[in-house]
Amino acid sequence: MIDRRTVLAGALVLPVAARAQNERWDAIVDPRTGTLGKALEAAAAAGGRPFRILVREGVLIEKLTIAVPNVTIVGSGRGTVLSFGTYAGLKHPDGNNWGTGRTGTLTVSAPGATLRNLTIRNSFDYVGAKRDNAGNGAQAVALVIGREADRTLVERCWLEGYQDTLYVQARARIADCRIVGGVDFIFGGAPAWFERCEIVTRYVPGAGEFGFLTAPSTPLAQQFGLVFSRCRLTREPGVPARSTWLGRPWRAGGNMDLTGQSVFLDCWMDAHIKREGWTWMGYKGPDGERRQLTPQEARLFEHASRGPGAGPASPMRRMLSAADAARFTRANVLGDWDGSGG
């Protein structure tokens, strides 16, 4: 049996015969000596066949894209960190600003990706930018699940940023993760199923309000958007009571077809959540005039919320009946994909 190993800048790329003896890893990355980027180059050379990468504990300062299908990246726990600090207002080499969509520390742009047991962080100094009144263009994404990234599984991961931490543009399941941010930090138009996640609002010194958990941009014709099941909504020390919105609907680019949907099912909410629950978001209409998309116009709902942040029903904070809530299942949201990965 062949037992040779190819060393690729610290990523051990294992032939098929050797993988069976090494827990089926196609590449093993040690952050002290190698890069995840080199392992992703090897995955690209594999031509789309399933490719599994193990990343050992350590910090990788890299900005990366998963560009081929069926890539699995598994870390060694929270201490496996992928970190980078690009933000929307920074000048790109092409002369334009980076813009929100290009800031991701990790971007998934191909189907069938699986991410497990690692931290993905955008390290942009949001707090310092706010302190210095330089916060314009402070959107800084940790993980982008792009439009071509259908069937993305994110499991037991730590996603960390401040503004726009997680951008979901394709069908995804996010399970048992800790997602940390402040402003619109879970956003996008895809059908996405979140289960047993901890959604953490960050403390920003001197802030009056502490942001918005979600900013959905769901198309009207799409039945499901961002759906949170049995999650916990918590806060960092210093975040005051009644300071944080569940979300606001994002009509991206003034597209009138977008009527964002966020739904919280059987979730526990700490006291930082505002009693009103949801708020409006501004956009520019087809006539060029500034308008507001209100919670009443969007599809923002709850069912069976618990904890000190669970508020009373109102025209702004609408509750689903048990029968309506029963439609929001993982199978319905994800359709013909069962939510499993590599």
The residue among 159, 190, 199, 198 whose CA lies nearest residue 172 is 190
Cα torsion angle, 271, 275, 276, 282, sign? negative
Task: Report, as residue numbers or ranges, the catalytic residues.
Answer: 164, 184
H or E segment to which residue 322 belongs:
helix 322-325
Q: Give DSSP secondary structure letters for 169-222.
A: -S-EEEES-EEEESEEEEEESS-EEEES-EEEEPP-TT-SS--EEEEE--BTT-
CA angle (142 as vertex; 240, 84 as ends), nearest 5: 110
Q: Which residue has the tokens 């080499």?
A: 93
- Taking the C-alpha atoms of residue 223 and residue 329, their distance in angstroms, rounded to an integer, is 12
Distance CA 87, CA 89 (A): 6
In a 3-state reduction of DSSP, which class is residue 79?
coil
> Whose CA is closest to 126, among 164, 83, 78?
164
Distance from C-alpha of 111 to C-alpha of 267, rounded to nearest angstrom: 29
